[in-house]
Every structure is written in C-alpha cells, then in structure tokens.
C-alpha cells in the first residue's frame, strides 16, 4: 500500500504466506515533502514500485521482499524542467521479473512532452524514450501497462495533432514501435490501458468533449479499430478498463448519473451489449472502476 499524507509518501507492506497474508509491518516514509500524484504497481512475484511527483521532478521507490529503496536520482530526463505535475503525472507498470517502466510528462519550452523510462532494480535506463509524435503539439495524460515479459509494454497518451487525439505506442526492448491511434478518429482525451500477461488488452478514452466512451481491443500486438462503446452522456464519461489473465475484457463508464459497462469474453470476437451496472435508487455515480477476473466483473461506486 502507498499513500500521500501532508505531502509525504508513505508505504506499508503485508508479507505473503502459504496460508494467509501476514500482518502489515507498519508504515515507512519514502518520499516528500510536497509529494503529489502517486501511482503503484506490483509484479506477480512480489516486487513493487511506487512513483510520484515532488517539486516538479518524478521519483520512484522499489519494494523487494519487505524493504523499500528509493531510486537515488529523479527519473525525468531534464530535472531543470517541470515534470510530473497535473496531466503530466507519472504512471508505473511492473513486470513478472520485478522491473518497472515509468511514464510521465514534462514541460518543455512552449509545449509538453511524454516520456517513458525503464527502471531495472534501482538503475535507470540510459535511454529514456520520448513518445510524442514528431511534428505534433503538446502531449500529456500517459497511462501504461506491461506484459509478464518485461520486454513488452504499452503506453497510451493524449496529443494535440490538429485536434486532441489519443495514441498508443508499444515498447519492445528499449524502443517504441510506430504510434497507433486508439480513438476511432474522434477528438478524445483521458486515455486508459490495461493488458494481461500475454499482451491481450483494451484501451479507452473519452471523445466528443468527454461525452462519448471509445474503446479499442488489443490483440496480436496491435489495437483493433476503436469504436464508441455507448451513447452520449451529459457529463464526462471517464471510462475505465480491465483485462483478465485469460483475455476477458471489461470497460465501464458514466452516463449521466448511472454507470454503464460492456464486456468481451476470451472466446468472443466482439463486445457484448452495454448494460447498466449501477442502481439509480442508491444515488448518482461519480466514479467507476473495472475489474476483469476469470469471469468478467464490473463494479461502480
């Protein structure tokens, strides 16, 4: 677990066990002051990383067994530039080997950029990658997920390309492949991505000023054409996505005061119909999350 309190980053660990998890060991401070925009991920073998923004720089700390160790230097490529703030906030994904890939944005003179960088143990890659499409405008809002094999990951982000577009790029080894649009040709923002250990997954974003959820299915290392997942909404849809270990996919979003969802099981070639997952009698929905396990499951709060 990781959280920010009064500008400081704290963590707490419950060690695993053969019958039941052990008790939490007590909190430890790993960052701060002035920390914001925390993110955390854990690999299937127990190594975890936390990343956050602090005073305009991006930091990371690694959990091995029950010990946290913070990477000695900021991750951002140009520490003199503001990085990790607002929509440039960092995100992290951890592979089965226990290594991480972190993505974030920084503020270059006149525009914003999206970066990605490997963290192997506590060692930063000497070859951070700039993800912006050359010739385009500002980019921000990166999200990331990784396969069990840490050689392969996907980053999605928003970039000004004549209009606001959402873009995906696949990491292979230390380099990213050519960009793929994951917005169905619509003006879109706030992209999300989730992939399983074999690289099957889903990306989503909100189009038409946030009022239309758009999703794209990832299979055989490429996104299929994105399409609208539901009808229009009078409020921002804020879609969320999830992929299960066997390849079930789930997407959920807001439509007005209710939560809607669609799913696709691993044997289907298309998403099923949208349906309402919230109870209007319990009040309006302001946040949704998706979770796909062996049998796809969605929930709303």
pLDDT tens sequence across 268-296? 999 999 999 999 999 999 888 887 754 43
Dist CA 198 CA 74 (whole Å): 31
Q: What is the pLDDT of residue 22?
A: 84
Asked if 259 and 300 touch (Cβ cutoff 8 Å), the reply is: yes
Report if residue 220 sits inside a domain.
yes
Residue 206's CATH number = 2.120.10.70
Q: What is the CA radius of gyration of the chain?
A: 19
Q: In the sheet where 2-5 sits, what is the strand order?
A: 2-5, 8-11, 28-31
Name 8's Cβ contacts closer than 8 Å, sequence gap at least 6: 29, 31, 32, 33, 35
Report if residue 76 sits inside a domain.
no
8-24: per-residue pLDDT in tens?
999 999 987 777 878 89
The distance of Cα 102 from the centroid of its chain, to the nearest Å, equals 10
Q: What is the pLDDT of residue 18?
A: 73
Report if residue 169 sits inside a domain.
no
The range of the structural domain enclosing residue 200 comes to 182-301
Dihedral angle, C-alpha 59, 38, 31, 34, nearest 10 °: 100
Residues paired with 36 in a beta bridge: 53
Report if residue 54 sits inside a domain.
no
Report if residue 218 sits inside a domain.
yes
Q: What is the pLDDT of residue 293?
A: 59
Report if residue 177 sits inside a domain.
no
Report if residue 221 sits inside a domain.
yes
Report if residue 147 sits inside a domain.
no
Q: What is the pLDDT of residue 16?
A: 78
Asked if 164 and 191 touch (Cβ cutoff 8 Å), the reply is: no
Dist CA 185 CA 153 (whole Å): 23
**CB neighbour burial string for 124-135, b if at least 16 within 10 angstroms, e if fewer:** bbeebbebbbee
Q: What is the pLDDT along the chain (301 residues), one digit of tens a residue?
A: 999 999 999 999 998 777 787 889 899 999 999 999 999 999 999 999 999 999 999 999 999 988 999 999 999 999 999 999 999 999 999 999 999 999 999 999 999 999 999 999 999 999 999 999 999 999 999 999 999 999 999 999 999 999 999 999 999 999 999 999 999 999 999 999 999 999 999 999 999 999 999 999 999 999 999 999 999 999 999 999 999 999 999 999 999 999 999 999 999 999 999 999 999 999 999 888 887 754 434 444 4
Total domains present in the chain: 1
């Amino acid at each position: 677990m990781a959280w920010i309190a009064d500008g400081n980053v704290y963590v707490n660990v419950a060690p695993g066990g053969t019958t039941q998890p052990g008790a939490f060991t007590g909190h430890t401070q790993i960052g701060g002051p002035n920390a914001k925009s925390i993110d955390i991920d854990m690999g299937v073998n127990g190594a975890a990383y936390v990343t956050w923004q602090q005073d305009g720089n991006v930091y990371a700390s690694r959990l091995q067994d029950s010990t946290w160790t913070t990477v000695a230097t900021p991750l951002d490529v140009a520490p003199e530039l503001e990085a990790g703030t607002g929509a440039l906030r960092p995100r992290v994904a951890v592979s089965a080997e226990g290594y991480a890939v972190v993505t974030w944005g920084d503020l270059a003179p006149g525009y914003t950029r999206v970066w990605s960088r490997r963290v192997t143990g506590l060692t930063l890659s000497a070859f951070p990658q700039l993800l912006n499409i050359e010739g385009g405008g500002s980019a921000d809002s990166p999200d990331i997920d990784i396969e069990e094999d840490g050689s392969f990951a996907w980053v999605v982000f928003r970039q000004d390309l004549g209009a606001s577009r959402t873009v995906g790029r696949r990491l292979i080894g230390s380099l990213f492949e050519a960009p793929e649009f994951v917005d169905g040709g619509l003006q879109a923002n706030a992209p999300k991505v989730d992939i399983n250990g074999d690289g099957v997954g889903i990306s989503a974003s909100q189009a038409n000023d946030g009022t239309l959820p758009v999703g794209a299915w990832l299979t055989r290392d490429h996104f299929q054409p994105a399409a609208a997942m539901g009808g229009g909404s009078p409020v921002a849809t804020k879609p969320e996505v999830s992929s299960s270990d066997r390849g079930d996919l789930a997407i959920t979003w807001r439509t007005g005061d209710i939560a809607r969802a669609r799913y696709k099981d691993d044997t289907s070639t298309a998403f099923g119909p949208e349906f309402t997952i919230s109870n209007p009698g319990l009040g309006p929905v302001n946040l949704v999350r998706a979770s796909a396990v062996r049998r796809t499951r969605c929930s709303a709060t």
